[in-house]
Amino acid sequence: MIGEVNLFGMYMPPLLLLMLPALLVSRVLAGVLGRVGFYRLVWHPALFDLSLFVIVLGSLAFFASNWF
């Protein structure tokens, strides 16, 4: 994932472009986990949400490494 993506004349790093779908997926997962009641087992929900976002972003970057 080396290089830049030209987005309407602006060069952006690919990781920045992957943050939006990662945020969307992690918010959906957090909502599902909240409805199930998983957060009763979590010590620090904000740290769990951050780590969930990092895991989703890392997996998206891994799978999108062929595209960029």
What pLDDT, on a 0 to 100 scale, did the predictor assign at position 26? 97
pLDDT-derived band at 25, boundaries 50, 70, 90:
very high
Helix (H) or strand (E) holding 7: strand 5-7
Q: Is the pLDDT of residue 1 over 70?
A: no
The Cα 29–Cα 25 span in angstroms is 6
* Token couple for 10: 């602006």
Q: In the predicted model, what is the mean pLDDT of the chain?
A: 90
pTM for the predicted model, two decimal places: 0.83
> What are the pLDDT digits (tens) for 30-50?
999 999 999 999 999 999 999
If you average pLDDT over residues 15-33, what whole number do you get?
94
